[in-house]
Chain A
Amino acid sequence: MRKLVPALLLLCAWAFAGNPRTLAIRNAKIVTVSGPVLGKGTVVVRNGLIEAVGADVPIPAGAWIIDGEGMTVYPGLIDAFSTVGIPSLAAPPTTAGRGGRNQTTPTQTPAPAPTPAAAPVTPAKGPEDRPATTSWVLAADEIDPSDRRIESVRSAGFTTTVTFPTRGIFGGQGSIVDLASEERAGEMVVVPAVGQYLAVSRGGGVFGGFGAGFPNSLMGYIAYIRQVYLDAEHYKLVKEAYARDPRGMERPPYDRALEGVLASKRILLPANRVVEMDRMLRFAAELQQPAVLYGMREAYRPEAAPLLKKFGSPVLVSLHWSEAPRDPDPEAYRTMRSLEDVDMGPAAPGLLQKAGVPFALYSDGLEKPRDLQRAVKKAVDAGLSRPDAIRALTLSPAEIYGVADRLGSIDVGKIANLVVTKGDLFDDHTQIEMIFVDGKQYKPAPEPPAGEGHGTDEQPGANQ
């Protein structure tokens, strides 16, 4: 019998080589997020789920045991607004020409999100052409497990992204995706449809936005979206009437654009300035759609939190803080607002937390682990407590998308997405040791050479 146990263990080790179905991390500090921090405890993972967690839980026989002495276990981070998994939506690499540009002027640079690939062949002549609408698309159907960004953001501690198809005005629905590698895309999807991505641009270019057609102004975008929702409502009405009694009634046509709109649980709307928050919150209320706002560059302003609270919409705060222009023209005029954006931007999460506005943080194109760490640190230095920072990247996004029953904290029965670190997450010298996605272990990719600075040169909330 005594010989049998090691033999069985050996067998187990062989059967699950590199991929044990059961594992336990013991003697580690455990930040559950949903409850108190355990100074020393054990997490047991079986079949990709958290089986047990506590100061004193038995380790099942045959489990792969990881000694967590000196380590901290966190729930896997969730990037609440991302395009990771859809390689064609990666922000274009920007290496040149970032020096002189004033990054913080309110006039946004052209957004990277709507790519020319989506432009219709013939320019839209009006809203009836439904330009730039692919509302029926699900990110889940476009996930490509070979996207190189999966490894990159996972190395920063993200185990989950809420990935959106960001082409066009009604881009399609976002999906919650677990960043496992070498899986079939379908196995990575946690929830296929969590909300419709909407782009609202200021427009104004000579050749127009999407394929040089309608719309090409902020008010055009709004009118277009409004018309689509009116149409969807009418479509539903007619469809239901036809379903009740088709006899003698003209058959209503099938419209996938409106089907996609009707199938969306919530909408994601861009808002960086307070003026835009006010506008988008009112717009969502008019459309009677639950909304999540993204961007939030000016959420530090005293007007922002009360406004957001009044409407009760959760918000996604970009970690891509406004930065002072590098090597600026000394004669260049800086507005007071642009100076405040740089000075106060990272204070926004702390202020939202204090005001009780539900919010999550998102990477907004920052892909390198160090950049992400630095960006979160900035918010912590500006007043966001560490536990709140972690919550804003774990349980809060899970709650915003209604998946807190399976993601966002270390609780029994939830998906085993974990980050194991040496040191506190978001400290300058913290090392991420291991990442677990669906109970599978990943090692962080080696750090890129230092001194490369930030990954992208885009504006906060550049997806708008």
Chain B
Amino acid sequence: MRQVWILALAALAPLYAQPIVIQNATIMTVTKGTLQGSVVIKDGKIADVGEKVMMPQHATIIDAGGQYVIPGIIDCHSHIAVDGSVNEGTVSVSSMVNIKDAINPEDIAIYRALAGGVTTANILHGSANPIGGQTIVLKMRWGKDAQGLIFEGALPGIKFALGENPKRPGNPPGGRFSTQTMPARYPATRMGVEDTIREALNEAKAYKAEWDEYGAKVARGEHAIPPRKDLKLEPLKEVLEGKRYVHAHCYREDEILMLLRVADDYGFKIRTLQHALEAYKVAREIGASGTGVSTFSDWWAYKIEAYDAIPFNAAVMQNNRIVISLNSDDDELIRHLNTEAAKAMKYGGVSETDALAMVTINPARQLGIDSRVGSIEVGKDADLAIYDKYPLSDYAKVQKVLIDGQVYFDRDSDIGGRPAKALEKQKLIDKEKKSQPKPSAGGRPVE
């Protein structure tokens, strides 16, 4: 096993040091059209894109004849790579917890996402609380440690959640006559969800005032004791200051409007509405607020609040000039977000570029990382996925995935490496069997 890795690393090492040229490919840049040509990668960045490019010396050539290159896919809503529960569901406001503390770089879902062309994912806390935990943007740098996955410089986020999920713990199974001892947790209604969010923001406002006052005292040269640092209110203070993005889980039009009003009242913006299956009903209001939407292509009816969905949701957002992305929220769906984009073309009639944008540059904009990733442009991170066929097709398979110009997934070497890995594993299984004590009971030995 280890030898395989060393070989793989030895094979990868020169790729990083040397420039890379991906040749003869159909390059779908998303922002600058589609062309036949090459991508040149230097120092992990895209150095050149075009039909004709300057070939750097000693470049490693990836011949992608007949293949397609797209920007690495970005998933705006994922829960992979988290150790333990993604929900701190015991409290109504769990803003003190941070996904960053629980990153699991050895979650195999990272590699599987990578094999589906994903290079960046927004890892969110679950939706058990009106205000959930802090979120983090990760690059799928399989093999790196937890710190090595973090998308450096990406603004942190926080999860909000509306509707059924956060109010469910307020309504324990069996209702009032239940014999179960599970304690009910406020809130139990949608009204309560709004109240919980407002209460927490009120607290955060008071907390911010306390710190501002302290800051003023220090500025005046006064000797003051700083206020107590509160990990629950710190991130909410950042929300009020516009230093942290809010990604809000929601479904129904009424709750969407509610949240937009709350944000307005407190002077901040909701960065994205997540799921938002009824967003098409209030597209004008969402558009006016400058809020992004990250939705499913055609996944619905898994609970009451998710019934009133239409497959045109993403297209309607697009037509209303709302930044719209398609997300997975799932370890499996994350492996084929390219077909989720294709569904927006099939159902909503959006253009190929607009569809692809829903899983690349649009989620990048929503996460505030569009200057770095999301399209194939000179100066951006060399985060690329190479498909064997037209990527908006069910039949397309990812061949290679690069992050920062480094190959993190290679279909051929994955498949080629399997027999050696299987052998290694079989050896250990056999060794273990041999060392097991022989079963002593029963029967005479066969002669």
Check: B192 CB closer than 8 A to any chain A CB.
no
* Contact among A123, A276, A303, A343 for B431, CB-based, below 8 A: A343
> Are A223 and B101 within 8 A (Cβ)?
yes
* Contact among A234, A336, A339 for B432, CB-based, below 8 A: A339
Check: A145 CB closer than 8 A to any chain B CB.
no
What is the minimal beta-carbon distance from B154 to any residue of chain A, in angstroms? 18
Residues of B near A217 (CB, < 8 A) are: 84-89, 97, 102
Given contacts A217-B85, A275-B146, contact A123 B90 (CB under 8 A): yes
* Contact among A214, A223, A234, A326 for B98, CB-based, below 8 A: A223
> Are B90 and A214 within 8 A (Cβ)?
yes
What is the minimal beta-carbon distance from A233 to any residue of chain B, in angstroms? 8
> Are A219 and B91 within 8 A (Cβ)?
no
Instruction: Please choose the segment from A68-76, A200-208, A311-319, A421-429 that sits at the chain B interface, where 4 or more of its residues have CB less than 8 A away.
Output: A200-208
Bitwise, B18-33 to A at CB < 8 A (1) or not (0) is: 0000000000000000
What is the minimal beta-carbon distance from A274 to any residue of chain B, in angstroms? 8
What is the minimal beta-carbon distance from B218 to any residue of chain A, in angstroms? 14
> Are B182 and A207 within 8 A (Cβ)?
yes
> Are B231 and A216 within 8 A (Cβ)?
no
Residues of A near B230 (CB, < 8 A) are: 227
What is the minimal beta-carbon distance from B417 to any residue of chain A, in angstroms? 13
What is the minimal beta-carbon distance from A345 to any residue of chain B, in angstroms? 12
What is the minimal beta-carbon distance from B42 to any residue of chain A, in angstroms? 29
* Contact among B1, B101, B424 for A218, CB-based, below 8 A: B101
Check: B220 CB closer than 8 A to any chain A CB.
no
> Are B133 and A216 within 8 A (Cβ)?
no
> Are A126 and B85 within 8 A (Cβ)?
no
Which residue of chain B lies nearest to A234 when distances are taken between CB atoms in the complex?
B228
Check: B411 CB closer than 8 A to any chain A CB.
no
Bitwise, A217-230 to B at CB < 8 A (1) or not (0) is: 11110111011001
Given contacts A219-B98, A275-B104, contact A336 B1 (CB under 8 A): yes
How far does the alpha carbon of A327 sit from the alpha carbon of B383 in the complex, in Å? Answer: 47
> Are A218 and B90 within 8 A (Cβ)?
no
Residues of chain A from 118 to 158 with CB closer than 8 A to chain B in the complex:
123-127
Residues of A near B429 (CB, < 8 A) are: 334, 339
Residues of chain A from 229 to 285 with CB closer than 8 A to chain B in the complex:
230-231, 234, 237-238, 241, 273-276, 278-279, 282-283
Residues of A near B84 (CB, < 8 A) are: 201-204, 217-219
Check: A116 CB closer than 8 A to any chain B CB.
no
Residues of A near B428 (CB, < 8 A) are: 336, 339-340, 342-343
> Are B225 and A220 within 8 A (Cβ)?
no
Check: B176 CB closer than 8 A to any chain A CB.
no
Residues of chain B from 400 to 440 with CB closer than 8 A to chain A in the complex:
421, 424-425, 428-429, 431-432, 435-436
What is the minimal beta-carbon distance from B149 to any residue of chain A, in angstroms? 11
> Are B232 and A126 within 8 A (Cβ)?
yes
How far does the alpha carbon of A155 sit from the alpha carbon of B439 in the complex, in Å? Answer: 31
How far does the alpha carbon of A126 sit from the alpha carbon of B232 in the complex, in Å? Answer: 10
> Are B90 and A222 within 8 A (Cβ)?
no
Which residue of chain B lies nearest to A235 when distances are taken between CB atoms in the complex?
B228
Residues of B near A222 (CB, < 8 A) are: 97-98, 101-102
> Are B225 and A241 within 8 A (Cβ)?
yes
How far does the alpha carbon of A125 sit from the alpha carbon of B432 in the complex, in Å? Answer: 47
Check: A212 CB closer than 8 A to any chain B CB.
yes
Check: A213 CB closer than 8 A to any chain B CB.
yes
* Contact among A123, A324, A334 for B436, CB-based, below 8 A: A324
Residues of A near B182 (CB, < 8 A) are: 206-207, 212
Which residue of chain A lies nearest to B134 when distances are taken between CB atoms in the complex?
A219
Which residue of chain B lies nearest to A123 when distances are taken between CB atoms in the complex?
B183
Residues of A near B228 (CB, < 8 A) are: 230-231, 234
Given contacts A219-B133, A226-B231, A238-B225, contact A342 B102 (CB under 8 A): no
Check: B331 CB closer than 8 A to any chain A CB.
no
Check: B99 CB closer than 8 A to any chain A CB.
yes
How far does the alpha carbon of A275 sit from the alpha carbon of B424 in the complex, in Å? Answer: 23
Residues of A near B133 (CB, < 8 A) are: 219
* Contact among B87, B96, B104 for A223, CB-based, below 8 A: B96
Residues of A near B94 (CB, < 8 A) are: 220
> Are A216 and B85 within 8 A (Cβ)?
yes
Check: A215 CB closer than 8 A to any chain B CB.
yes
Residues of B near A207 (CB, < 8 A) are: 182
> Are A279 and B146 within 8 A (Cβ)?
yes
> Are A218 and B425 within 8 A (Cβ)?
no
How far does the alpha carbon of A9 sit from the alpha carbon of B97 in the complex, in Å? Answer: 70
What is the minimal beta-carbon distance from B433 to any residue of chain A, in angstroms? 8
Residues of A near B104 (CB, < 8 A) are: 275
> Are B88 and A127 within 8 A (Cβ)?
no
Check: A302 CB closer than 8 A to any chain B CB.
yes
Residues of A near B89 (CB, < 8 A) are: 216-217
Residues of A near B83 (CB, < 8 A) are: 202, 218, 275-276, 279
What is the minimal beta-carbon distance from B37 to any residue of chain A, in angstroms? 40
What is the minimal beta-carbon distance from B142 to any residue of chain A, in angstroms? 13
Residues of chain A from 297 to 325 with CB closer than 8 A to chain B in the complex:
302-303, 324
Residues of B near A241 (CB, < 8 A) are: 225
Which residue of chain A lies nearest to B231 when distances are taken between CB atoms in the complex?
A227
Which residue of chain B lies nearest to A214 when distances are taken between CB atoms in the complex?
B90
> Are B146 and A336 within 8 A (Cβ)?
no
How far does the alpha carbon of A226 sit from the alpha carbon of B100 in the complex, in Å? Answer: 13
Given contacts A218-B85, A218-B101, A275-B106, contact A223 B231 (CB under 8 A): yes
Given contacts A238-B225, A302-B2, A339-B429, contact A219 B101 (CB under 8 A): yes
Which residue of chain A lies nearest to B436 when distances are taken between CB atoms in the complex?
A324
Residues of A near B229 (CB, < 8 A) are: 230, 234
Check: B195 CB closer than 8 A to any chain A CB.
no
Given contacts A126-B232, A227-B231, A339-B428, contact A215 B88 (CB under 8 A): yes
How far does the alpha carbon of A237 sit from the alpha carbon of B230 in the complex, in Å? Answer: 16
Given contacts A126-B232, A275-B105, A275-B106, contact A219 B99 (CB under 8 A): yes
Residues of A near B101 (CB, < 8 A) are: 218-219, 222-223, 279, 283
Given contacts A217-B102, A218-B85, A275-B106, contact A227 B146 (CB under 8 A): no
Residues of B near A340 (CB, < 8 A) are: 1, 428
How far does the alpha carbon of A213 sit from the alpha carbon of B90 in the complex, in Å? Answer: 6
How far does the alpha carbon of A206 sit from the alpha carbon of B168 in the complex, in Å? Answer: 13
* Contact among A202, A220, A237 for B88, CB-based, below 8 A: A220
Residues of A near B105 (CB, < 8 A) are: 275
> Are B90 and A215 within 8 A (Cβ)?
yes
Residues of chain B from 102 to 144 with CB closer than 8 A to chain A in the complex:
102-106, 125, 133
> Are A219 and B425 within 8 A (Cβ)?
no
How far does the alpha carbon of A220 sit from the alpha carbon of B103 in the complex, in Å? Answer: 13
Residues of B near A302 (CB, < 8 A) are: 2
How far does the alpha carbon of A224 sit from the alpha carbon of B230 in the complex, in Å? Answer: 11
Check: B332 CB closer than 8 A to any chain A CB.
no
* Contact among B96, B231, B232, B425 for A339, CB-based, below 8 A: B425
What is the minimal beta-carbon distance from A106 to any residue of chain B, in angstroms? 9
Residues of B near A282 (CB, < 8 A) are: 147
How far does the alpha carbon of A174 sit from the alpha carbon of B104 in the complex, in Å? Answer: 30
* Contact among A212, A230, A238, A339 for B90, CB-based, below 8 A: A212
Residues of A near B2 (CB, < 8 A) are: 302
Residues of B near A127 (CB, < 8 A) are: 96, 231-232
> Are B97 and A220 within 8 A (Cβ)?
yes
> Are B432 and A342 within 8 A (Cβ)?
yes
Given contacts A217-B85, A223-B97, A278-B145, contact A126 B91 (CB under 8 A): yes
Q: List 7 A-B contacts (CB under 8 A).
A: A123-B90, A125-B90, A204-B84, A217-B87, A222-B102, A275-B104, A278-B147
Given contacts A217-B84, A219-B102, 9 further A-B contacts (CB under 8 A): A125-B91, A204-B85, A218-B85, A219-B99, A238-B225, A282-B147, A324-B435, A324-B436, A336-B1
Q: Which 9 A-B residue pairs are closest in the complex by CB-CB distance?
A: A218-B84, A202-B84, A204-B85, A217-B85, A339-B428, A219-B97, A220-B88, A222-B101, A214-B90
